[in-house]
Amino acid sequence: MYTRPQKILIIDDDVELATLLIDYLTLEGFDAKSAQNGLDGLTMLAAEEFDLIVLDVMMPGMSGTETLTKIREKYKTPVLMLTARGDPVDRILGLELGADDYVPKPCTPRELVARMRAILRRTASGDNSNGPVQVGKLVVDLSQRRVTYDGQPVAFTGTELALIEMLARHAGEPVAKADIYPRVLGRPLGRYDRAIDVHISAIRHKLAEYAHDDILIESVRGVGYQLVARSAAH
């Protein structure tokens, strides 16, 4: 059965880099296109559907973070940020605004594709053989890419969805960060890497709007996190 190539949109003002990435991604079986600025990228998003966006932080005019904010107003498409600065502030800000992950520049095309594939694997629908998981009034259905609390849908990015699903399957038990990183981000836990912490913060904020203090994600010092339902056992 024919499966269409996964479509990638690269938004980066570095034309040489974008061309290199398109050539490499094409060889890897992707259908890749590029836009040289945020406005053009948003126009392309409005015209066709993409499976993943590679977005540079440092762009003239509309910055990568501004572009990401606009993307998240309308689209759930996974976003992988390219960060050029050594300062981790850009990376944290991107994650807080809804990016799924980041890759610091300079990076090899091989590393970028590995990160992309990790994101695409966890955001692909129908890849969860275990079925939905319920914790109290919280239901996480990875195959449908859907989370509800008391029947009300709660919007999560693909990475947040994979993370809360993992915590829900181990509700009431601490889940180590060293186990979370390979499963959710497709890479080992690195020193000073706060990506999961930022995603946890976003999940807590979203859950609080619906579940208040009924569903909590507790920090387990020196280990990681655990999800707890106060009203009912899962």
How confident is the model at residue 186, as a pLDDT?
86
3-state per-residue secondary structure call for the chain: CCCCCCEEEEECCCHHHHHHHHHHHHHCCCEEEEECCHHHHHHHHHHCCCCEEEEECCCCCCCHHHHHHHHHHHCCCCEEEEECCCCCHHHHHHHHCCCCEEEECCCCHHHHHHHHHHHHHHHCCCCCCCCCEEECCEEEECCCCEEEECCEECCCCHHHHHHHHHHHHCCCCCEEHHHHHHHHHCCCCCCCCCHHHHHHHHHHHHHHHHHCCCEEEEEECCCEEEEEECCCCC
Across residues 127-154, what is the average pLDDT?
85
How confident is the model at residue 233, as a pLDDT?
43
How confident is the model at residue 85, as a pLDDT?
64
Q: Which residue has the higher pLDDT, 199 or 191?
A: 199
Q: Which residue has the higher pLDDT, 84 or 193?
A: 193
How confident is the model at residue 80, as a pLDDT?
95
Across residues 23-46, what is the average pLDDT?
96
- Mean pLDDT across the chain: 89
- Count of Cβ atoms closer than 10 Å to residue 181 Cβ: 18
How confident is the model at residue 196, as a pLDDT?
95
Q: Is the pLDDT confidence value at 127 over 90?
A: no
Q: Is the pLDDT confidence value at 225 over 90?
A: yes
Complete domains list, the chain, with CATH: 7-123 (3.40.50.2300), 133-229 (1.10.10.10)
Q: Which residue has the higher pLDDT, 130 or 185?
A: 185
Percent of the chain with pLDDT over 70: 93
187 phi, psi to nearest 5 deg: -150, 160
Q: Is the pLDDT confidence value at 216 over 60?
A: yes
How confident is the model at residue 1, as a pLDDT?
43
Across residues 94-111, what is the average pLDDT?
89
Q: Is the pLDDT confidence value at 124 over 80?
A: no
5 band by pLDDT with thresholds 50, 70 and 90: confident
Residues 35-82: tens digit of each pLDDT: 999 999 999 999 999 999 999 998 988 999 999 999 999 998 999 999
Q: Is the pLDDT confidence value at 3 over 90?
A: no
